[in-house]
Homo-oligomer: A and B are copies of this chain.
Amino acid sequence: MRLSQYFLPTLKENPSEAQIVSHRLMLRAGMIRQSSAGIYSWLPLGFRVLANIQRIVEAEQDAIGCQQMLMPTIQPADLWRESDRYDAYGPEMLRIKDRHERDMLYGPTNEEQITDIFRATVKSYRDLPKLLYHVQWKFRDEVRPRFGIMRGREFLMKDAYSFDLDYAGARMSYNKMFVCYLRTFEKLGLKAIPMAADTGPIGGDLSHEFLILAETGESQVFCHRRLLDFKLPETTPTDAKGLQALVDQWTSVYAASDDKHDPVKGNALGTDLVTARGIEVGHIFYFGTKYSKPMKAMVSGPEGGEVTPEMGSYGIGVSRLAGAIIEASHDDAGIIWPESVTPFRVGLINLKSGDSECDAACEDIYRALAGRGVTVLHDDRDQRAGVKFADMDLIGLPWQVVVGPRGVKSGVVEIKNRRSGERQELNRESALARVAGG
């Protein structure tokens, strides 16, 4: 992509409304733009990141056999009356009347809707277990939306739902998703810490939230040092016992965010206590028959009679992750994207746009990288070098390739790694190989 043609409205100044670094950097990097309080448009650069995050989240859901579907944003209020959540949900629910004065709402979550689909279509224990998910926009009418897309009103969420015949099955689904979440955050280049959590308005008995560590995170995190060194095995065990053992490992040591922190337990860890800051990016719940029972979602059981399936739900904040990743990975100059989610892998800086040799060298490098499947943003603008360097650091692509008249004459280009800051002068071939990776 040529930057001269790309819709990338970067800002030089820090926008005054942005209180946290991810909000500031997303606005400055031309990733998002506010439409109204807590509601944002994703401009092309931001959209690429959002789509990359979504793709990774989907791939990991698919990998555990969770089947993708898509439920609508607008739900009938009657469904929520069945679970008694319509009145309970409070003013955060965006309530709507359609032209026939029917009560509708913009879904903040989908437990009722998936249970309604399940009860209408699944009739036998033979069809269990079922693990279903979708990635859809949600709305929570926050009283004071802030922090950009980190605490917006309209947000993109991956929510999955499990249906099992009994507790053992439900626990298996919960454990599958627990490990899937750890792997998803790892693929996103993040260190995630699972913590026992309150269940809040979703309800249920067992719940974990996943916080990623970020110096500028919203919550205080307390955990045992060992948790930071836990590694996932190459392949996830598929048997119940192996899976449970893996979950047990990750939940065997102390971890709590500030609202649940027990100073006595924390202090008992002595020098093994790590205190850090974190951001919640995922939350999983086992809630048994909380929805299936009042909504009469029953299947015929293996010994005749009817069984009410045990359910769980599993959320990842997809749009929130774009901000969370920035909170976890930035410096004074701007964003530092992990390779897995970066909007482009390489920023190609032409120091003298309009100079025929520099232009030709850039075109050549662009084509060579594109030919290797590498995404490149080519800064071909008629701008000073300083502006180009600053913008490229701001938008945070992992690699920069700098082409100038002197280098072109001596047959070298400069490459810079955005994260380490390391610069190297290399010949064309070595530079291409280095930034293309592999």
Q: B-contacting residues of A (Cβ < 8 Å)? A: 5-7, 9, 30, 33, 35-36, 39-44, 46-48, 50-51, 65, 67-76, 91-92, 94, 96, 98-99, 102, 104, 106, 113, 116-117, 120-122, 130, 132, 134, 137, 139, 141, 143, 153-154
Contact = CB atoms under 8 A, between A and B. Distances in A.
A141 B98 contact: yes
B39 A74 contact: yes
A41 B154 contact: no
A41 B67 contact: no
Given A69-B47, A71-B41, A99-B91, A76 B35 contact: yes
Contact of A9 (B35, B68, B121): B121
B69 A44 contact: yes
Given A33-B120, A36-B102, 6 more contacts: A41-B117, A47-B68, A48-B68, A51-B68, A73-B73, A74-B154
B117 A33 contact: yes
A104 B72 contact: no
A33 B121 contact: yes
Contacts of A132: 7, 44
A141 B75 CA distance: 14
B41 A130 contact: no
Given A33-B120, A35-B76, A5 B65 contact: yes
Given A33-B121, A91-B99, A96-B96, A7 B69 contact: yes
A258 B28 CA distance: 51
B47 A70 contact: yes
Contact of A154 (B35, B72, B153): B72
A300 to B, nearest CB: 15
Contacts of A106: 74, 96, 106
The 3 residue pairs across chains A and B that have the minimum distance between CB atoms: A9-B121, A42-B70, A36-B76
Contacts of A5: 65
14 contacts: A7-B122, A7-B130, A35-B113, A41-B70, A44-B67, A46-B69, A47-B70, A73-B137, A74-B94, A74-B154, A92-B99, A96-B96, A98-B141, A99-B143
A94 B96 contact: yes
Contacts of A41: 69-72, 113, 117
B67 A42 contact: no
A41 B67 CA distance: 14
B141 A99 contact: yes
Contacts of A94: 74, 96, 98
Which of the listed residues A43, A67, A120, A139 has the most CB atoms from chain B within 10 Å of its own CB? Answer: A67
Contacts of A96: 94, 96, 106
Contacts of A120: 9, 33
A7 B137 CA distance: 23
A72 B6 CA distance: 21
A395 to B, nearest CB: 15
A120 B139 CA distance: 25
A433 B130 CA distance: 34
Contacts of A9: 120-122
B44 A68 contact: yes
B70 A50 contact: yes
Contacts of A42: 69-71
Which of the listed residues A50, A72, A132 has the most CB atoms from chain B within 10 Å of its own CB? Answer: A72
B143 A72 contact: no
Nearest to A163: B7
A153 B73 CA distance: 11
Contacts of A7: 67, 69, 121-122, 130, 132
B122 A75 contact: no
